[in-house]
Structure 1
Amino acid sequence: MRMRFKPYAGPELAACAYHINEPMAQKGKWREVFQNPELPIHMELGCGKGGFLSQLALRHPERNYIGVDITDKVLILAKRNIERRYAAEGKTPDNVVILSHDIERIRCMLAAPDQVERIYINFCNPWNKKSGHKKHRLTHPRQLVQYRDFLSENGEICFKCDDDDLFEDTLQYLPEAGFEITWMTRDLHADEPAWNIRTEHEAMFTEMGIPTKALMARKAAIDPETERRLRAEIQHTDPYEQKAAQGEPEAQE
């Protein structure tokens, strides 16, 4: 179901102390936005309504968190959920920031100096309707090679989904893009780890009897030729990259 336009979202987010209005301007210097810049950075791609992110950030004050989603009308719900959960604990959100950005162009807002230690991807769009759309998956090799740019040495990806095809394909994508799968399960709740935080989608699919698939993967070596091919594909298909090659200025997200 398409979410309705929320006219209040933009102004409310612009006034929010932990909303980043111009994320591309922070490329390479994300630590500066946090009260405690020395803490490790974790991030959630596709944070949605912020249920997972708000619980995770509260549970781990020893880490800084970045939550990314593509549209303000979703991000405003994350902002309110974060505020509500922190207020219930008598705390202020000092270790989390949120922002809207096209995740397919995540390379435009993060760089090697940012040294993100872990990426969370939870129940992303499986893009199963047409095979040509699979390149939009957040675990597609074109995406994974971008994550390599800002993940720390041995940086991790934590992935959960309900979709069998997406999960099985991701098991192939990760080694291609130079990631080592260190743990996986096709039924997370059969022996649920204490560290797991159930997302809204996770609870819904579990109630429907659909098992949650999950894995952890670590950044490792990538074949140089594969990396060159993936980066060339990104440049060839991204209209913003083509404009940059022609010397046209790139618009801010």
Structure 2
Amino acid sequence: MRLRNKPWADDFIKENHHITELSPLSYKGSWRDLFQNQQAIHLEIGTGKGQFIANMAKQHPDINFIGMERVKNVIVGAIKKVDEAGVRNVRLINENAQDLRDLFAENEVEQIYLNFSDPWPKNRHEKRRLTFHTFLEQYEHILSSNGEIVLKTDNRNFYEYSLVSFSQYGMELEEVTLDLHAMGDPLNVMTEYEEKFLNKGQPIYRCRAQFR
């Protein structure tokens, strides 16, 4: 579905500079200085409308969360969610995950969330999938030695592709779940998409992977 253009998005993002970092490249290696603490940094790539990151920040006030969303018309919704949540441990950045090494220093991030990423189902678009090996190289660089990737999706093909990609890269699969909500994980925080697919009876797949 095509997103409706929001001509006011640029101004809204600038007005909410206490939530959206306007110069993220300048904080490479010093994101904890922005948060004014030494807490762990967790990164969500593809924040969408912000339900996940806002609720995670509420649940884990001892963690700094950074949400990356490349679409301006979408990130404004995330700004509103974070603002409504009243949390201070979230910063949003309007950036593309083309090269995370421009944004984060080596070992600067403790956890990466890939929630309902675009599966790019056509073979010719494989390089765009966020679990393609060129992205894994970036994740390995910015993650700490015990950091992990947490992936959730409703797309079985993308899930299986990601498991193979992780394994071929030499990663260790800490968790492989074919029906997340059958597990009854009390700490699971749902995204908007997750709620939508769950209500339709669609199983949600989750995995956790670490670099060896």
**TM-score above 0.5:** yes
Following superposition, the deviation at residue 80 of structure 1 comes to: 0.3
Q: What SS does the corresponding residue of 1:120 show, helix, strand or coil?
A: strand
Q: Whole-Å Cα distance in 2 between the matches of residues 60 and 78 of structure 1?
A: 18
User: Sequence identity of aligned pairs in percent?
Assistant: 36
SS at match of 1:181: strand
Equivalent residue number for residue 176 of structure 2: 184
Give the aligned partner of residue 27 of structure 1.
28
**Structure 1 residues 111 and 177: alpha-carbon distance in aligned structure 2, compared to 1, 3 A threshold:** farther
Larger Rg over CA atoms: 1
Alpha-carbon shift at residue 5 of structure 1 (Å): 1.6
Name which of 214, 219, 240 aligns with 2:211. 219
Write the mapping of 1:60-71 to structure 2, written as runs, cut at 5 A: 60-71=60-71
Tell me the C-alpha RMSD between the 2 structures: 1.2
Report matched runs for 1:17-166 at 5 Å. Answer: 17-36=18-37, 38-86=38-86, 93-112=87-106, 115-128=108-121, 130-166=122-158
Residue 224 (structure 1) aligns with: none
Contact 2:41 2:64 in 1 (8 A): yes
What code does the residue aligned with 2:62 have? E
Alpha-carbon deviation of 1:67? 0.3
CA distance in 2, matches of 1:178, 1:25: 32
Residue 213 of structure 1 aligns to which amino acid in structure 2? Y
1:202-224 Cα deviation digits (max 9, x unpaired)? 1111122210000111121xxxx
Cα distance in 2, alignment partners of residues 5 and 145 from structure 1: 34
Q: Which runs of 5+ in 2 are unaligned?
A: none
- Count of residues in Structure 1 that have an aligned counterpart in Structure 2: 211
Give secondary structure in 1 for the equivalent of 2:88: coil
Rounded to whole Å, the distance in 2 between the matches of 1:187 and 1:137 is 22
Q: Provide TM-score, normalisation by structure 1.
A: 0.80
| Runs of 4+ displaced beyond 6 Å | none
Structure 1: segments with no counterpart, 5+ residues: 87-92, 221-253
CA distance in 1, matches of 2:142, 2:114: 16
Q: Structure 2 length as normaliser, TM-score?
A: 0.95
Q: Whole-Å Cα distance in 1 between the matches of residues 183 and 25 of structure 2? A: 40
Q: Which has the higher helix share?
A: 1
Note the C-alpha offset of 1:2.
1.5
CA contact (8 A) 1:104 1:136 kept: no
Aligned pair partner of 2:185 in 193, 201, 205: 193
Q: Quote the Cα distance in structure 2 between the aligned partners of 1:73 and 1:104.
A: 19
Deviation at 1:104, TM superposition (A): 2.5
Indicate the residue corresponding to 1:232 in structure 2. Answer: none
